[in-house]
Structure 1
């Protein structure tokens, strides 16, 4: 081997682990409800003072079936604190909820809950969504201040993404 070949071999051996690590590092971004502003969107906007979630509102991920705003993720437990001063958005008897997606996963369902009761579900049948997804949710006979738990169930993992949206149903 000549000098150039030895140098190329050494450099290649040095960069190979970096390339492998870069290809297996999980994405740190996924998705959240940004309209009306979810609790993590309020943190990111500085509307409410929050910790780590301020810089990564899209990362509220946990096992499917969670019923908390944090998705059971202890890093974001402050999202579960109902006394934190979350701003409620005035809405009518139905409302569009828009998700901002920063990593697109195949989707099984999108679900919306109020008070532990499912009020809407959209079955995407494994489709891979675009950068934004919007669903119109009917609140039925609900009124007044409510906390909506929105859940994005990923089709190809055991996890889901969670967002809570505080609303005041006026119509």
Structure 2
């Protein structure tokens, strides 16, 4: 059942124990954090591609059997690797006015355009559904949600030839608050639909003004092409009629065995500091890509230059992503990068390490 009580989760700020400001260098261990989340049943476009191809992304069959995932992979592999990070910050709930038409599936070209390929019209793999179904959303960061809005495309909309507009959608479910750690299973009714459709979800996270967006391709009724179906927990199920081009990885679901942590050494002086960050694979599977998120405790600190990584910001959030040669990390391995900052810095704030 939907939640009808509203409790705002106050943002938790974790500060690493301070080291002596006068020291020439400091070492800070950053605790690993979980990734963000997305719709996993029916799966979002990026999660669906990761399910089928994450462990088999070099298979040339992708181009022939799954051309929409193939074009997304060619445009930016991190669309697949970072299936859990499609977010925008600071929209203040104005999703329908600030996310432009034809850009809904990418969240308005979120994250520097990483997810733009998800807006492409075409024959994306579909999940078979009844008109009454349960949508499962995976909040692996345990943020909680102020609300979820669930839309389904109107009968007559053709996702194979037309990128998604707001006018193509009907909002069919609006929830109240979900507390951190609470399972998100939303009953949805979409009567009168047959054939190919899109289920569009807006998740307003509770920890800060972050909104996550997803497009899930589905098929109502008989006769549709299907991908491997998932149960309400997002785990694959056996289906001998599936046209899935690959076998399910023996290592389990996409997130199983994926983990990373970061440590940082700081060489500080009066007006700035040099930070060296090591990203370690603490899981049992290869990390194909990673992203770090953090927020400065002091607004006067700013990255001046960075090497062996890319740096971007979204509101007050700082983000670091790998370059080609340090993107993949084998189990037990690690990679490093560094950056300089202007401003006083003797300790690092908490960093989210997001593996994929």
TM-score by length of 2: 0.39
Give the aligned partner of residue 121 of structure 2. Answer: 82
Give the aligned partner of residue 92 of structure 1. Answer: 130
Look up the SS of the partner of 1:44 in the other structure. helix
Name the structure, 1 or 2, with higher relative contact order (CA <8 Å, separation 6+).
1
1:95-106 alignment to 2 at 5 Å? 95-106=133-144
After superposition, give the CA deviation of every residue in 1:108-136 in whole Å (9 maximum; x if it has no partner). 11111123321111111x62234x42212
Give the alignment's Cα RMSD to 1 decimal: 2.8
Give the aligned partner of residue 37 of structure 1. Answer: 43
1:1-171 alignment to 2 at 5 Å? 14-15=25-26, 18=28, 22=30, 29-45=35-51, 46=53, 48-49=69-70, 50=73, 51-62=77-88, 63=91, 64=93, 65=95, 66=99, 68-72=104-108, 73=110, 74-83=113-122, 85-114=123-152, 115-124=168-177, 127-130=179-182, 132-170=183-221
- Structure 2 unmatched ranges of 5 or more: 1-18, 54-65, 153-167, 223-356
TM-score by length of 1: 0.77
Look up the SS of the partner of 1:54 in the other structure. helix
After superposition, give the CA deviation of every residue in 1:23-75 in whole Å (9 maximum; x if it has no partner). 8xxx6821011112210112212262322121111101014413611112121
1:139: Cα distance to partner? Answer: 0.5
User: Could you tell me how far apart the structure 1 residues matched to 2:86 and 2:193 are?
Assistant: 26
- Structure 1 unmatched ranges of 5 or more: 1-7
User: Could you tell me how far apart the structure 2 residues matched to 1:112 and 1:103 are?
Assistant: 20
